[in-house]
Amino acid sequence: MQALPAPTFDDVLDAAARLEGVAHRTPVLTSSTFDERTGASVFFKCENFQRMGAFKFRGAYNAISHFDAEQRKAGVLTYSSGNHAQAIALSARLAGIHATIVMPHDAPEAKVAATKGYGGEVISYDRYKENREEIGRRLAEERGMTLIPPYDHPHVIAGQGTAVKELIDETGPLDMLFVCLGGGGLISGSALSAAALSPACTVIGIEPEAGNDGQQSLARGEIVHIDAPRTIADGAASTHLGHYTFAVIRQLVARIETVSDAQLIETMRFFAQRMKIVVEPTGCLAAAAVLNGVVPVKGKRVGVVVSGGNVDLPKLAQYLA
């Protein structure tokens, strides 16, 4: 298959049209306590209220909406143990096509069940012996299915960019925008929207301390690979950026900073107690950076993307205790 061109803001606009009436236009929340503590005016784009509980629905649905008749007939394939699996399964069901998801044999039962619940066919593999990308490629070839990876795809990036488009459409120009990153799909789409709609806005990426491959990549000017990091931010536990995502990040993201797991827990508690919302650890990355003054924000208008809310309840109870 021929490589697709790099994503642009026009692709985000196209994705927004395809998602209209399908994806939720998620709320933008504010908190006077958060503003008092930080001295800033902070707008939270709450993708924990998105369908299936995270922004990933936007990219997955947009990518599948581009399928031609032949691709629709063979179906979609992906590898993921997390929110992208559910996003692909739900999007495929809405599009009326078959979805196959390659998941590790020890993936959390709740996630396997959720993916199957949306009608996805789950194929498990041994994550210590097999490589999911190879399995994915092999299955795609054998079955003629189209592989939609979790972040390194122009249609996925463009779909993810629609959240920040909605945010800035609602708030007007921002001085700063904080976005978490794993493989970088969300932040590269977000940066395309910010650059077009609020050109003076500084885009800042936030990663877990244990998995700062993006920060290292930006510093070195090349994609740095790390070992699978140990962090409660499982949605940002990827080991490297993608080629499409790194190209956008290099151009449009000013800096990448990190926060600790303890800071994520503190932020999860803030969201639950003060704002009455459930946010998964990864979804707290950007807010944790602002709350902890990782980058000075005093007097600024600040956008914060809250990326998702899928957390096991017993675990949440542990974090909040």
CB of 224 to ligand PLP, least distance (A): 15
CB of 278 to ligand PLP, least distance (A): 12
* Residue 54 interacting with ligand PLP (CB under 6 A): yes
Compute the distance between CA of residue 223 and CA of residue 214 in angstroms, rounded to an integer: 8
Burial code (b: 16+ CB inside 10 Å, e: under 16) for 305-320 equals bbbbbbbeeeebeebe
Beta carbon nearer to ligand PLP, 16 or 60:
60
Contact with ligand PLP (CB under 6 A): which of 40, 114, 181, 259?
181
Beta carbon nearer to ligand PLP, 82 or 154:
82
- Give yes or no for a contact between 248 and 223, defined as CB atoms under 8 angstroms apart: no
73 is catalytic: no
- Give yes or no for a contact between 166 and 138, defined as CB atoms under 8 angstroms apart: no
- Give yes or no for a contact between 171 and 187, defined as CB atoms under 8 angstroms apart: no
Beta-bridge partners for 305? 45
81 is catalytic: yes
At what angle are helices 185-197 and 243-252 packed, to 10 degrees? 40
* Residue 180 interacting with ligand PLP (CB under 6 A): yes
* Residue 29 interacting with ligand PLP (CB under 6 A): no
Tokens of 244: 């499409």
* Residue 235 interacting with ligand PLP (CB under 6 A): yes
CB of 252 to ligand PLP, least distance (A): 14
- Which member of 45, 65, 80, 81 is catalytic? 81
Contact with ligand PLP (CB under 6 A): which of 7, 75, 182, 208?
182
Convert residues 249-268 into a mask of x (bound to ligand PLP by CB under 6 A) and - (unbound): --------------------
Q: Which residue is it, tokens 């299915």?
A: 145
Please count the residues of this chain forming the interface with ligand PLP, following the rule CB under 6 A.
Answer: 22
* Residue 283 interacting with ligand PLP (CB under 6 A): yes
* Residue 184 interacting with ligand PLP (CB under 6 A): yes
* Residue 282 interacting with ligand PLP (CB under 6 A): yes
* Residue 56 interacting with ligand PLP (CB under 6 A): yes
Residues that bind ligand PLP (CB under 6 A): 54, 56, 82-83, 150-151, 180-187, 235-236, 238, 280, 282-283, 307-308
Active site (catalytic) residues = 56, 81
